[in-house]
């Protein structure tokens, strides 16, 4: 019952949190000292990036690792990995778009070959490569195994993105929320709005993942039905 | 594992020596690509351009893709695949052997194309020679990654077109590191951080290949 | 004869490829040291059955145990080490010579290379040791495949249309070889379009159609 309730509430709660983010971010919170209203993108871009790189890609990576380990191998974890990676592509694209919108006035260019931007774009290409690999293989087990390996290889990129602003001189700013001594860099209503945005976009991710997963389950059911049909047809060949 | 690696590497190199695909197909392609790069730069810019290292690695990428596909195609004819599978070779050894053979082939191509970049793209001879160690390390990392990604893409519906899609995001950081260290050797600058990336990537891909090749082989 | 448990035991074995059932519920038991011929029309599933027995394809549903290894949960790499495969496509590296192919196989299996000349002699390829495999005729390639198996001496021999491309002399030689191998205790399963020829050898003929065994004659 709790599961059903939480599933029913997921959509409305997500919408409420995102609406709150929008209202607080655009109208209620004060503008920023240096970048003015442009910096209101802080209530979207970091949250979207967080979901893209850690939540969504992280889910796909963990599910892939679980698939490769015999004890936890199942088509369920493969489905989760696939769906999470698809949602990851969407969020990575949103990260790059919101980042570009922010970067154009701040840096004067839509795109720079900056370490963080480049490594994030590379992650996006990995995610697309994952989907291409899945389409190239019809056999479910073969497809699951190969894409799981690719997801693990791609995950190597995540720490590179995380530490890119420290390892290289980059245009991209450093940590948005925490300073190097783990103190908060953002306070008051702005901090709360940022927190709500992170929650909202994370819930959005789970909402999209659930919807995508249900579609995948239906697809698998249709595949199983077609297999049954194919078996019957095949056996009839033997009878004739 | 080492025994199997040396056996597989020797077999691949022997096949290459017999078939001469590297000599008669890949090498001419690589040289033609370098010529095209020179033409693209044009006579006004070719002598002064700092694009030499980047163009060298771009051509090496194209050459590597051809060679990785070739390395996979040796194993992927249906009868050979089944028979070799029944030999029960240690997959980690097979991976290392494939990577080793690819590395030797890429090194040979790399040396020839480096000479080509001096001639056609006017990269300074002294700087190019001092870039040689970093080029060899980068190409070794490319070979290890290539052996792994070649197996990942092999046997799919479109293996020749799948390999570039899968491997580009993995090769990109290697090529960046290689280009930066080549440029640093030519124009001065800090080499060590780019060396470090190439070495770490080499170690990572060798480790990942040893761990994961068996899973791909089961496929 | 042989041990008490069958070397092959399949129950409702289904093998799928891209959603198509290559095998649609095979039930089969084979005793060790036996010789079986699998016949049937093109597309009946003969090659797929051999590949399943060799651990070269995975079981999609049903159950199977070959040489004591479970086809769903067991170590298929270990199973593959125990079988010998002779496909109709050619089993080796085209750019290597006959001798070099066998050296590779011998070193892979840690067998003495000194056995190779006698094996080549036995299959009638002694004069072709230095010939690249791509230059061998179809029948000679078949013999090279047999040489590979003779070096390996596997427990289970899986031969896919071994009579194809062999002349009368080749077929007689092959019958003799298979007889020797079975007498030595190996289990042989081969596919053939011509049941009459092969039944001269084999006490058991299995006919496949639609991915099922529709006839089993001993």
> So what's the pLDDT on residue A36?
74
Q: Between these two residues, A174 and A102, which has the higher pLDDT value? A: A102
Helix (H, G, I), strand (E, B) or coil at C214: strand
Residue B118: CB atoms within 10 A of its CB come to 18
Query: How far B81 CA lies from chain C's nearest CA (Å)?
Result: 8
pLDDT at B37: 87
pLDDT (tens digit per residue) in A148-179: 999 999 887 777 777 766 666 666 666 555 55
The minimum CA-CA distance between C37 and chain B, rounded to whole Å, is 20
Contacts of B79 (CB under 8 A, 6+ apart): C87, C88, C89, C90, C91, C92
Compute the distance between CA of residue C203 and CA of residue C182 in angstroms, rounded to an integer: 12
Cβ contact B82–C93 (<8 Å)? no
Residue B87 confidence (pLDDT) above 70: yes
The b-or-e profile of C3-39 (16+ CB within 10 A means b, else e) is eeebbbbbeebbbbeeeebbbbbbebebbbbbbbbbb
| Among B148, B158, B169, beta carbon nearest to A126 | B169
For residue A240, name the pLDDT band (cuts at 50, 70, 90): low
Which of C18, C57, C71, C85 is most worth mutating to test chain B (most B CB atoms within 10 A of its CB)? C85
- pLDDT tens readout for residues A58-69: 999 999 999 999
* A68 interfacial to chain B (CB closer than 8 Å): yes
Residues of C in contact with A238 (CB under 8 A): 24, 208-212, 214
Q: Does C16 touch chain A (CB under 8 A)?
A: yes
DSSP state of B129: H
Chain C residue with minimal CA distance to B157? C18
Q: Is the CB of A226 inside 8 Å of chain C's CB atoms? A: yes
* DSSP secondary structure letter of residue A70: G
Question: Which chain A residues have a beta carbon less than 8 Å from that of B54?
Answer: none
Confidence of residue C2 (pLDDT cuts 50, 70, 90): very low
Shortest CA distance from A71: residue in chain C: C73
Interchain pair C16, A235: CB under 8 A: no
Smallest Cβ–Cβ distance between B83 and the set C77, C91, C94 belongs to C91
Q: Do the Cβ atoms of A196 and A18 come closer than 8 Å?
A: no
From the list B78, B88, B218, the residue facing C87 with the nearest CB is B78
Q: Comparing A191-200, B186-195, C90-99, which segment has the lowest mean pLDDT?
A: B186-195
Which pLDDT belongs to residue B157? 47
Q: Complex ipTM, two decimals?
A: 0.85
- pLDDT tens for C35-45 read 999 999 888 99
**Range in B56-60, C146-150, C201-205 with the lowest mean pLDDT:** C201-205
d(CA A80, CA A83): 5
Tell me which residues of chain C, numbers 59 to 88, contact chain B at a CB-CB cutoff of 8 Å: 76-78, 80-81, 83-85, 87-88
Confidence check: pLDDT of C209 > 50: yes
In the predicted model, what is the mean pLDDT of residues B43-65?
A: 83
In this prediction, residue A221 carries a pLDDT of 92
SS3 B154: coil
Kindly tell me if the per-residue pLDDT of A43 is higher than 80. yes
> pLDDT by residue (tens digit) across B7-32?
999 999 999 998 888 888 999 999 99
Residue B128 and residue B172 in contact, taking contact as beta carbons nearer than 8 Å: no
Distances (CA, A) of B96 to A8, B18, B85, C43, C78: 52, 22, 17, 38, 21
Mean pLDDT of chain B: 87
Q: Which residues partner with C159 through β-bridges? A: C86, C190
* Mean pLDDT along residues A211-217: 94
pLDDT more than 90, % of chain B: 45
Predicted pLDDT of residue A171: 61
How many angstroms from the chain centroid is the CA of residue B80?
24
- Residues C55, B88: Cα–Cα separation, whole Å: 11
Pairwise CB contact (< 8 Å): A231 & C25: yes
Give the pLDDT of residue C195.
60
Give C202's pLDDT tier (boundaries 50, 70, 90).
low
Location of structure tokens 């070096």 = C151
Worst-scoring range by mean pLDDT, A4-13, B34-43, B58-67, B157-166? B157-166
B98-117 residues touching A, CB cutoff 8 A: none
CA distance A25 to A22: 5
Task: pLDDT band for A141, please (50, 70, 90 cuts).
Answer: confident
Tell me if chain B has a CB within 8 Å of the CB of A132: yes
As a whole-number percent, the residues of chain C with pLDDT over 90 amount to: 47
C-alpha C100/C-alpha C93 separation (Å) is: 9
**Greater model confidence, A36 or B101:** B101
Residue C17, pLDDT > 60, answer: yes
Three-state DSSP at B102 gives: helix
Closest chain C CA to residue B91: C77
Q: Provide the mean pLDDT of chain C.
A: 88
pLDDT in tens, A181-191: 556 666 778 88
pLDDT at A203: 94
- The structure's pTM equals 0.86
More confident residue, C183 or A30: C183
Residue C14: pLDDT band with limits 50, 70, 90: very high
Asked if A135 has any chain C CB less than 8 Å from its own CB, the reply is: no
A138 reaches C (C-beta below 8 A): yes
Query: Which whole-number Å values give the CA distances from A1 to A4, A166, A209, C133, in the listed order?
Result: 5, 47, 21, 68
Q: Which residues pair with C158 in a beta bridge?
A: C85, C189
Interface residue of A136, A139, A168 to substitute, partner B, most B CBs within 10 Å: A136
Average pLDDT over residues A209-214: 94
Tokens standing for residue B92: 């980690």
pLDDT tens digits along C44-85: 999 999 999 999 998 999 999 999 999 988 889 899 989 999
C138-180 pLDDT, tens per residue?
A: 888 888 888 988 988 899 999 998 887 777 888 888 888 888 8
* Mean pLDDT, rounded, for A183-210: 86
What element of type H or E holds A100?
helix A75-107
Per DSSP, the three-state class of B83 is: helix
- Yes or no: say if B26 and B67 are a contact pair by the CB < 8 Å rule: yes
- A96 class by beta-carbon count within 10 Å (0-12 exposed, 13-18 middle, 19+ buried): buried
**How far is it, in rounded angstroms, from Cα B170 to Cα A123?**
9
Closest Cα in chain A to B215: A145
Interface chains of chain B (3 or more CB pairs under 8 Å): A, C
pLDDT at B127: 86
Indicate the residue of B4, B18, B218 with minimum beta-carbon distance to C95: B18
């Amino acid at each position: 019952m709790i599961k059903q309730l939480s599933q029913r509430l997921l959509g409305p709660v997500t919408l409420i949190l995102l609406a709150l983010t929008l209202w607080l971010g655009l109208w209620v919170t004060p503008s920023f000292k240096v970048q003015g209203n442009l910096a209101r993108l802080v209530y979207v871009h970091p949250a979207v990036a967080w979901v893209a790189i850690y939540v969504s890609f992280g889910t796909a990576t963990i599910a892939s690792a679980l698939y490769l380990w015999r004890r936890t191998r199942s088509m369920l974890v493969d489905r989760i990995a696939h769906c999470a990676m698809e949602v990851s592509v969407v969020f990575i694209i949103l990260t790059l778009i919101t980042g570009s919108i922010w970067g154009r006035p701040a840096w004067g260019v839509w795109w720079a070959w900056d370490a963080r931007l480049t490594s994030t774009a590379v992650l996006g290409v990995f995610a697309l490569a994952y989907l291409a690999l899945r389409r190239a293989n019809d056999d479910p087990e073969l497809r699951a195994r190969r894409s799981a390996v690719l997801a693990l290889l791609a995950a190597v990129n995540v720490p590179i993105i995380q530490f890119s602003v420290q390892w290289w001189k980059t245009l991209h700013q450093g940590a948005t929320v925490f300073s190097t001594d783990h103190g908060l860099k953002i306070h008051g209503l702005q901090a709360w709005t940022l927190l709500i945005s992170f929650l909202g976009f994370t819930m959005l991710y789970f909402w999209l993942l659930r919807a995508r997963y249900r579609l995948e389950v239906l697809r698998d059911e249709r595949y199983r039905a077609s297999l049954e049909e194919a078996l019957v047809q095949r056996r009839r060949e033997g009878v004739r | 594992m080492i025994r199997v690696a040396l056996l597989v590497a020797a077999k691949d190199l022997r096949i290459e020596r017999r078939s001469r695909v590297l000599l008669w197909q890949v090498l001419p392609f690589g040289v033609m690509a370098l010529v095209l790069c020179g033409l693209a730069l044009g006579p006004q810019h070719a002598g002064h351009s700092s694009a030499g290292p980047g163009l060298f690695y771009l051509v090496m990428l194209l050459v590597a893709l051809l060679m990785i596909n070739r390395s996979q195609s040796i194993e992927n004819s249906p009868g050979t695949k089944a028979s070799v599978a029944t030999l029960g070779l240690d997959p980690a050894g097979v991976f290392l052997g494939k990577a080793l053979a690819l590395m030797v082939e890429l090194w040979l191509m790399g040396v020839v194309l480096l000479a080509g970049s001096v001639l056609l793209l006017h990269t300074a001879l002294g700087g190019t020679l001092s870039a040689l160690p970093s080029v060899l390390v980068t190409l070794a990392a490319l070979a290890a990654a290539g052996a792994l990604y070649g197996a990942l893409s092999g046997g799919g519906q479109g293996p020749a077109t799948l390999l570039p899609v899968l491997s580009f995001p993995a090769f990109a950081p290697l090529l960046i590191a290689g280009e930066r260290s080549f440029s640093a050797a030519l124009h001065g600058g800090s080499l060590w951080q780019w060396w470090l990336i190439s070495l770490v990537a080499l170690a990572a891909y060798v480790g990942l290949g040893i761990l994961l090749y068996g899973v791909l082989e089961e496929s | 004869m042989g041990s008490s448990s069958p070397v092959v035991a399949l129950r409702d074995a289904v093998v799928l490829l891209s959603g198509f059932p290559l095998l649609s519920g095979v039930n089969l038991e084979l005793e060790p040291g036996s010789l079986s011929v699998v016949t049937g029309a093109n597309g009946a599933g003969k090659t797929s059955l051999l590949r399943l027995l060799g651990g070269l394809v995975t079981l999609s549903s049903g159950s199977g145990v070959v040489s004591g290894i479970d086809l769903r949960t067991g170590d298929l790499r270990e199973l593959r080490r125990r079988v010998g495969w002779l496909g109709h496509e050619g089993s080796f590296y085209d750019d290597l010579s006959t001798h070099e192919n066998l050296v590779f196989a011998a070193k892979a299996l840690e067998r003495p290379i000194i056995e190779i000349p006698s094996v080549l002699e036995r299959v009638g390829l002694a004069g072709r040791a230095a010939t690249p495999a791509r230059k061998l005729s179809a029948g000679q390639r078949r013999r090279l495949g047999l040489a590979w198996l003779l070096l390996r001496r596997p427990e289970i021999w899986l031969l896919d249309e071994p009579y194809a491309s062999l002349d009368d002399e080749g077929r007689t030689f092959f019958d003799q070889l298979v007889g020797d191998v079975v007498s030595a205790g190996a289990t042989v399963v081969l596919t053939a379009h011509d049941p009459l020829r092969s039944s001269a050898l084999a006490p058991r003929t299995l006919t496949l159609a639609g991915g099922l065994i529709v006839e089993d004659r001993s």
